[in-house]
Amino acid sequence: MSNELKSYTRDLYGFWDWASENLPTENEDVNELVLLCKKFLIYENHVDRVGRMAEICGKKAKDFKYKIAEMYAYRRSEIASEKQVDPESNAVSRILNMEVRAQLPADTSDALLWKRIEQAKKL
């Protein structure tokens, strides 16, 4: 079996196993083969691009979650030093929750907020 890597455009590549199929003999067969190869290569290129975009989005979501956690911890320590209480106390948690709630749209329900928090924890 001889596999050859053919470059069709800058980022489209395809393998053709010449031993697995008979070579096309008529013009219609050649045209159909070229069309099928192009469709396959374009599909594979889309799959690769979607995969890369999914990786990038996942990384950005994790970075965002990390930054939010850092800001939350920083704000928690600020409130604790202002009120001179333990950073893990319920009073600090209540103040933080009120600040976060004030930044959300007024029609955000508790159920929706809880659902979003659970989704963020899974990242």
When divided into structural domains, the chain yields a total of: 1
Report pLDDT digits (tens) over 91-119.
Answer: 888 888 888 888 888 888 888 878 877 77
Q: At what angle do helices 27-83 and 90-103 cross, to 10 degrees?
A: 130
Question: What is the per-residue DSSP string for 61-84?
Answer: HHHHHHHHHHHHHHHHHHHHHHHT
pTM here is 0.49
Domain span at residue 114? 3-122
Phi, psi of 7 (to 5 degrees): -95, 120
Q: What is the pLDDT of residue 8?
A: 47
Residue bearing the bigger pLDDT, 38 or 71: 71
